[in-house]
Amino acid sequence: MGRLNQKIAVVTGAATGIGQATVKLFAEEGATVVCADVNEEDVQNTVNEVKNNGGKAEFVYVDVSNEESVTSLANHIKETYGSIDVLFNNAGIDEEGGKVHEYPVELFDQIIAVDLRGTFLTSKYLLPLMQERGSGSIINTSSMSGRAADLDRSGYNAAKGGITNFTKAMAIDYAREGIRVNSIAPGTIETPLIDELAGSKQQEQGREFREANKWVTPLGRLGDPKEVANVALFLASDESSYITGEDITVDGGIMAYTWPGKMLIDNQWKKTSD
């Protein structure tokens, strides 16, 4: 406890899943957390829970794809707190769009706007608040889908691949100013986004998806949002003071192999994930 005492942290995409878990964990560790999202109802519930547990958090409406909205967030933080210590660029969306020749331009633009442009905008306008104090940690949510491709999701692959390298660019740009920049590449994590993409646990399609992931993932299960939040906490804390420009994979081992190979036909392998 207390690894983020007296630190000001901003978490985008704070309403559910990884963002929500990170807000709670950061608050437990002593941070004052600014919860930035477009979903006021869900975020406010999280803020109330944090406060009821003795933590400090507030909700600020932010559309990360909108420059005016992000500058408004930056002004609010400057007026209220003066500066920040941690920025977790976690806001993102995902949706299948088909093969590239049939992929809707509007969907591609939307995913790039929220995932990649949103990471750029929040970084651009909140970085000066870190520069003023000469220190800070920025954490971006990339994805294993930014390292390898998915069927029918080229827009998401492009956005997350961009975040991975954008992270490295910022790490170089601001290292001499005491600002570290890293990213986290989650695998398949049990979040509402997975329910939207693959179906919930209550739906047959969702159950089939989770069963397939049991044996595709070496650790034999989907990840929990708090398991990603734990990595974000490490990167936000002084314990990671010599780490910058890294993309840390939290995927249960999926990226450790080149292709399923024997896993496709080895029933014993599949059974061990039950």
C-beta of residue 25 within 8 angstroms of C-beta of residue 50: no
- The answer to the question of residue 1 being in a domain is no
Q: Is the dihedral of CA 185, 190, 191, 194 positive or negative?
A: positive
- Note if 81 is an active site residue: no
2 found inside a domain:
no
Is there a domain that residue 190 lies in? Answer: yes
63 part of a folded domain: yes
What pLDDT is stored for residue 193 in this prediction? 75
Residue 54 counted as domain residue: yes
Mind giving me the DSSP string for 113-179? IIIIIHHHHHHHHHHHHHHTTT-EEEEEE--GGGTS--TT-HHHHHHHHHHHHHHHHHHHHHGGGTE
Residue 244 belongs to domain spanning: 8-271
Let me know if residue 3 belongs to a domain: no
The domain total for the chain is 1
Asked whether residue 152 is assigned to any structural domain, the reply reads yes
pLDDT per residue as tens digits for the range 196-212: 777 777 888 888 888 88
Q: Tokens representing 16?
A: 């559910």
Which residue in 61, 103, 156, 257 is the catalytic one? 156
CATH number, domain containing residue 58: 3.40.50.720
Return per-residue pLDDT of the chain as tens, 274 residues. 799 999 999 999 999 999 999 999 999 999 999 999 999 999 999 999 999 999 999 999 999 999 999 999 999 999 999 999 999 999 999 999 999 999 999 999 999 999 999 999 999 999 999 999 999 999 999 999 999 999 999 999 999 999 999 999 999 999 999 999 999 999 999 987 787 777 777 888 888 888 888 888 999 889 999 999 999 999 999 999 999 999 999 999 999 998 777 777 777 766 665 5
Is residue 196 a part of any domain in this protein? yes
To the nearest 10°, report the CA torsion of 138, 40, 111, 144.
50
User: So what's the pLDDT on residue 99?
Assistant: 96
